[in-house]
Amino acid sequence: MAKLTKGFGVETLKSIFPYFFVNENNLNYIGEVPDIKYFNKLKLKDFNEYKNKFDNNWSLRDETIKYCEIDCISLHQVIFKFTFMIFDLFGKNVHNYPTLPSLAFAIFRSNFMEETQFLNYQVKYLQILDKDILEEQLICIFLIIKKVLK
């Protein structure tokens, strides 16, 4: 997530948290910032900067809530930027696609695949599914696909 927030250049970057410090016995801990060994792959410089923000009043409860809020805000900012980037680059509204694969396929289909290739793919797929499909049903399906592609 840290690389994602930096990569998208969002305003709220992922923060740090001592994941390995938390256990059922210290949920109400208030005191010194936990040792660097409780943080995941944290540089000493970054740890010292974080530690200097507190004066023996680091609260596990408060920092957990703050960490989760920052995660949600930064993820929202990434999604927001991603949404506009996809629309600007490809003219696709990400909210019309329930999954990233469906969005990727729509982008591929509309920008890199000729309509005839897509229709040929549909015919082969339908033949595999049911060889007894009536001609009228195929015509109806092709008309729907053609309308969707326009």
Between 16 and 150, whose confidence is greater? 16
* Rounded Cα distance, 149 and 5, in Å: 34
> What's the pLDDT at 101?
87
Q: What is the pLDDT averaged over residues 7-24?
A: 90
> What's the pLDDT at 133?
47
pLDDT, tens only, 115-148? 655 555 555 555 555 555 445 555 555 566 666 6
* Rounded Cα distance, 69 and 30, in Å: 20
The least confident of 21-35, 44-58, 98-112 is: 98-112
Q: At 60, is the secondary structure helix, strand, or coil?
A: helix
pLDDT, tens only, 64-90? 999 999 999 999 999 999 999 999 999
Q: What is the pLDDT averaged over residues 95-111?
A: 88
* Rounded Cα distance, 20 and 41, in Å: 11
pTM of the predicted model as reported, rounded to 2 decimal places: 0.65
Q: Give the chain's mean pLDDT.
A: 82
Instruction: Using the structure block, give the residue that is written with the tokens 């599914």.
Output: 129
Start-end of H helices in the chain:
2-8, 44-51, 60-90, 100-112, 115-129, 135-149
Between 92 and 127, whose confidence is greater? 92
